[in-house]
Amino acid sequence: MPIGHVYIIGAGPGDPGLITVAGAQALGRADVVLYDALAAPQLLRLARPTAELVYAGKRANSHALSQEEITATLVLRAREGKTVARLKGGDPFVFGRGSEEAIGCREAGVPFTVVPGVTSAIAAPAYAGIPVTHRGVASNFMVVTGSGADFEEETIDWVAAARVDTLVILMGAGTLERLTSRLITAGRPPETPAAIMRWGTRADQSVVRGTLETIAIQVREAGLGSPMVTVVGEVVNLADDLAWFVPGPLAGRRVVVTRSRADSSELGARLSALGALVVEAPVIATHWLTPNSSLRAALLSKPEWICLTSPNAVAAVAAELTAAGLDARALAGVRVAAIGEATAATLRAGGIRADFVPGRAMTEALAEELPVTAGDRVVLAVSALADDRLRAALNARGALVERVAAYETGFEPLDPGRLREVSGADAITFTSTSTARNLARALQGTSLPAGARLISIGPQTSEAVRAEFGRVDSESATSSLESLVQAVLDALR
């Protein structure tokens, strides 16, 4: 078996938009993705739907995998012939131990590529309006670690660190008082401006400014912990004029999206644009049943109506037509109904305008309002798990209904990292009955946080959420993503 390849990728400091093009392309090629706790979860949507996702997060006193286990996994998967992406926060060669993983690959004879990332040492200050250099103020800077062996074993030249124009310290939440004391002892004036950025570049970033003498006390009073970046130097004062980053109305609020990985991107992007910390918890795996001779025959039989009850149904129909070497023209003369605006929008994206959308995005409304007459043939392209209410209701009106399974949805478990993110959520969105059932299954009996707002996209989904969790806090006015996002805004304001 030919050996695979390992990509050691810098994910950037937190804002998912800061990943490089090369990093995104490498993620898209991967069969296996090992990702850190500090890598933006939204980046996982760049991976292929079939990629294996392995949580390798490491936080203080909490390691999903040890460093040795991570390196061994990279080597093992590559020896299986897999393309492996190792997604690391920031830059993998800046206190990221990426070099150790690269050495492990080289010693095992596994080819690897290093994809540099935007380091938090520069990006976090920049998002706080602090440049690490500025003409006439700072012509040099140094980056040191505030924790780990280098710090504890006194291998850092603190006298040299005290002399540079700008000093950037990565990590060090638990050692900040010792850090500032060492710098003052080494000759840095106590009144030197200093700033702390926690979760720099993210919508929930926190910035505390003070002096070298006061910053540790200020951070303790503000209750800030890791991850943090510390900047010491006159450049800190430039933030008075250069601060530019203004988070949106959902800044710092953690919102869970439970749709499948393939479907979560648009909802996640809309929420992220408002400043939300989007947690993608894809508890649904969707599979098109292609090739699907029953669906193909039904679509091409020229029925009076084709009814599509979800965007997934639209995608499944499109996939079947493509597999047959056809496109939307094959449906000429056939009227198409969409259950709601989200499904209609997906149709429009494929060049088809829905002939009918009911007043309410509900199975009952579609069954009651669809303009059929006795004897009309109707094809229902639905999930393999869909109930039979729509077919029965249309049959009762005299329609000749053919129900065809176009796709199937299955359960997708959540890794420990995602489960931890869900447990700290401010809001959880549900876009189908399956998302409610599957999230309950993924939680394995663990209760949702009492303060989390449970937000549903419609009445049928609300029923499932109540059945699983005992409550629904908000329901969107329509089944559109715009309405769901507005419901999140209203609930969290």
- In the residue annotation, 171 being an active-site residue is answered as yes
Work out the burial of residue 329: count CB atoms within 10 Å of its CB; fewer than 13 is exposed, 13-18 middle, 19 or more buried.
exposed
Phi, psi for residue 293 in degrees, rounded to 5: -65, -35
Separation of alpha carbons 329 and 315, rounded Å? 16
Separation of alpha carbons 189 and 261, rounded Å? 51
Residue type, 100: E
Helix (H) or strand (E) holding 86: strand 83-88
Separation of alpha carbons 98 and 182, rounded Å? 28
- In the residue annotation, 241 being an active-site residue is answered as no
Selecting among 58, 355, 362, 415, the annotated active-site residue is 58
Separation of alpha carbons 142 and 132, rounded Å? 9
In sequence order, what are the residues at sequence separation of 6 or more whose Cβ sits closer than 8 angstroms to the Cβ of residue 173? Answer: 146, 147, 224, 225, 226, 227, 228
Whether the CB-CB separation of 70 and 57 falls below 8 Å is answered with: no
DSSP assigned state of 206: E
Which tokens in the block code for residue 36? 């850190």
Full strand arrangement of the beta sheet holding 228-232: 141-145, 166-170, 228-232, 193-198, 206-211
DSSP assigned state of 457: S
Whether the CB-CB separation of 435 and 463 falls below 8 Å is answered with: no
Torsion of CA 150, 154, 156, 161, to 10 degrees: 140
Residue 220, classed as helix, strand or coil, is: helix
Q: Per residue, what are the HEC states of 273-341? A: HCCCEEEECCCEEEEECCCCHHHHHHHCCCCCEEEECCHHHHHHHHHHHHHCCCCHHHHCCCEEEECCH
Selecting among 36, 91, 376, 426, the annotated active-site residue is 36
- In the residue annotation, 150 being an active-site residue is answered as no
Selecting among 142, 171, 197, 228, the annotated active-site residue is 171
Helix (H) or strand (E) holding 265: helix 264-273
Which tokens in the block code for residue 447? 């209760």
Q: Of 288, 376, 388, 374, give the one whose Cα is nearest residue 337.
A: 376
Q: Of 320, 328, 269, give the one whose Cα is nearest residue 291.
A: 320
In sequence order, what are the residues at sequence separation of 6 or more whose Cβ sits closer than 8 angstroms to the Cβ of residue 220? Answer: none
Residue with tokens 């003409």: 135
Q: Which residues are catalytic?
A: 36, 58, 171
